[in-house]
Structure 1
Amino acid sequence: MVSRTTANAKGDVVVLLIGMRINRFWAVHLWLPVLLGMLRMLRELAQDPARGLLSRVLLTASPRTYYVVQYWESKEKLYAYASAPDAWHHKVWTAFNHKERKGKLRGRVGIWHEAYVVPEGSYEAIYGDMPAFGLAAAHGQVPLERRGRYAKDRFSYRSQQETVGEKTG
C-alpha cells in the first residue's frame, strides 16, 4: 500500500448524505423499518451497479443518528433511482409518506438528506496509510504525487491535464 494517496476522481463529483434520527427509542416499530429500508436500498444498489451508486460509507453521529455518505456517477442517475417505480426506494418512501400523513411518525423518527454536485477543482482528498475510502473508494486511488503534493495543487488539478499530457507524452 502506498503511504499517501489521493482520489482519482475526474469531473464533477455527486455526493448524497442521507440519514435518520431516532427521536423516540421506544418507537422501534416506526424507526426500525426506516433503518432496514436504507440497508435494503444499499443492497439493491450494490446488486445493480448500472443504477449509478459508486460507493458508500455507513456512519453514526450518535446513538440516535445514522447516515450514509454515497458517491454517485451523476445527479441524473441519482434522480433516476430516487424516482424509479421498480426501486426499493419508491416502496419505502411511499410507506413513509403514508405513515407521516397519518401523523404516526411525528416526533418519533426524523429523516434527512443533502445532495451535492461538486465541480472539478472544488474538491481534494488525501489518505495516509489507508485503503480506498470515501471518494477514493468511489473513483479509485492514485499516489499523491499524480495530483500534487499540496492541497492547492490537488484543488487546481483538472482531468483534462491527463488527456493533454498523454497526447503530448
Structure 2
Amino acid sequence: MFAKPIPGRTTAAREGDAVVLLIGMRINHFWAVHQWFPVMLSMFRMLAELARDPGRGLLGRVLLTASPRTYYVVQYWESKEKLYAYASEVGLLHHKVWGAVNRKEKAGKLHAHVGLWHETYVAPEGAYESIYFDMPEFGLGAASGVVPVERRGRYAKDRFAHRSVGNSAP
C-alpha cells in the first residue's frame, strides 16, 4: 500500500531535540547466511518489539539499503535517554542480542561474516530543518507529523531560525 502524497510543501512538526540513530549491518560473506540472516531477523524483531510499546520512545523509522551488502534503519527517537534505556534494559531483545554477541566475541567465536554499526546524532532544537514537496509523510516528518511549510518559513534559514535559541515564537 502506498501512502498518498500531501500536496505542496510541508516540514516536520518536531518540537525539541531530534534524536537520530542510524543502525545497520554489512554482509561480508553472502554464503554465510547462517551468520547474517539471524542478525537481520533480530533487527526486525527489535523494531516489532518497539512498535508494540510506543512509550519506549521510538517515533519512527525508515529501512534503507546502501548497497547489496549494507542494510540499515534510520530511527527517530523521543530522547537519547529513552534510546539508552531501551538499549540497556534487561529482558528486552537488544540487551539479549548484544549479550550473545559479546559472549561470542570473548570466546573467540565471532566471525567476520557480518559487520555491525551504528551512529547516533542529537540535533538540538533550532539545529535541524526539513522540507517535503508533494511527498507523503517521510523521515522526521513521518516520525513527528508535518505542518505546512509557511508555519515554519519558506526558506531553510527561516526554518532553522523558527526554533533557534532565544526564538520561542510558534
Give the aligned partner of residue 148 of structure 2. Answer: 143
Equivalent of 2:44 in 21, 30, 39 = 39
Question: Quick check: 1:76 aligned with 2:81?
Answer: yes
Equivalent of 1:103 in 103, 108, 112 = 108
Report the alpha carbon displacement of residue 95 of structure 1 after superposing the two structures with TM.
Answer: 1.5
| CA distance, structure 1, for counterparts of residue 50 and residue 43 of structure 2 | 11
| RMSD value, Cα | 1.2
Give the TM-score, by structure 1 length.
0.92
Report the alpha carbon displacement of residue 8 of structure 1 after superposing the two structures with TM.
Answer: 0.6
Question: Quick check: 1:91 aligned with 2:96?
Answer: yes
Give the aligned partner of residue 53 of structure 2. Answer: 48
Give the TM-score, by structure 2 length.
0.91
Give the aligned partner of residue 125 of structure 2. Answer: 120
Question: Quick check: 1:131 aligned with 2:139?
Answer: no
Q: Which moved more, 1:90-99 or 1:145-154?
A: 90-99
| CA distance, structure 1, for counterparts of residue 139 and residue 76 of structure 2 | 8
Aligned identity (percent) is 71
3-state SS of 1:9 partner:
coil
Which structure has the highest helix share of the two? 1
| Unmatched 5+ stretches in structure 2 | 1-5
Question: Quick check: 1:157 aligned with 2:162?
Answer: yes
| Unmatched 5+ stretches in structure 1 | 163-169
3-state SS of 1:160 partner:
coil
Query: Which consecutive aligned stretches of 4+ in structure 1 deviate over 4 angstroms post-superposition?
Result: none
Question: Quick check: 1:57 aligned with 2:65?
Answer: no
Q: Deviations over 1:114-161 (max 9, x none)?
A: 011101111110101111110001111011111000010011111721
3-state SS of 2:76 partner:
strand
Report the alpha carbon displacement of residue 103 of structure 1 after superposing the two structures with TM.
Answer: 3.2
| CA distance, structure 1, for counterparts of residue 34 and residue 103 of structure 2 | 15
Question: Quick check: 1:3 aligned with 2:8?
Answer: yes
